[in-house]
Amino acid sequence: MKPAAIIACLFVLALNGAASAQTGPAAEQVRYDWNRDGHMDKAMLVESNEDESVSLHIHFGRPNGRFAPPIIATNFAGSSPMIGDPAHIKLNAANSIVVTSSHIGIGRSKYEADTLVAFRGGQMKVVGYKIARWDAFDPEAATSCDVNFSTGRAVVLHTSQRRTRVVRHNLAPVPIRNWKMLPELRGTCPAYD
């Protein structure tokens, strides 16, 4: 794939995310029975008042139709309308939670990142992280990385090298309360820096 085509694809992905994002606290939530107990659960993003981030709140449903107190992952993703889209949340085809954050506004360094959350081992865990980073003025500087914490594999694409490679890693799924953009990702995923 040509570098210009990759940049165009990333731009379209960013625009699609902007077009589909909803606003308001009630709009930024998804529902599914993740723990398969027969009661609907919900996940929502809550904006921080102190910094440009959102917290992920997951409420498990109870038999009485109400929700248990939330499991909260603070500073889960960046969110700044000034430099990109506010973070948003959706379900993928497998009903796992996808939290998308981006920096596509001011400056030449751009990125879009998806954090994948699923119910594993009795709790909600980060099971995947995908990031695409590019320079608005240098299409050859684009890099992307798709890290799967469950399989121990990451797929890395360097536009300048015109190749994709698979990297093995020892990172395991991370309980959402412990997700802090792992420094270990730097060695696995060059787009993370």
Domain ranges of the chain: 3-192
pLDDT tens-place string over residues 11-52:
333 333 333 333 334 347 999 999 999 999 999 999 876 777
Structure tokens at 146: 């798709």
| pLDDT above 50: residue 9 | no
CA separation for the pair 7, 106 (Å, rounded): 17
| pLDDT above 80: residue 60 | yes
Q: What is the mean pLDDT of residues 59-70?
A: 94
How much is the pLDDT for 124?
A: 96
Question: In this structure, are residues 39 and 31 in contact, taking their beta carbons and an 8 Å threshold?
Answer: no
CA separation for the pair 113, 39 (Å, rounded): 30
pLDDT tens-place string over residues 66-106:
999 999 998 888 776 665 678 889 999 999 999 998 887 77
What are the phi and psi torsion angles at 144 (to 5°)?
-140, 160
Tally Cβ neighbours within 10 Å of residue 28. 22
pTM: 0.78
What are the phi and psi torsion angles at 146 (to 5°)?
-125, 105
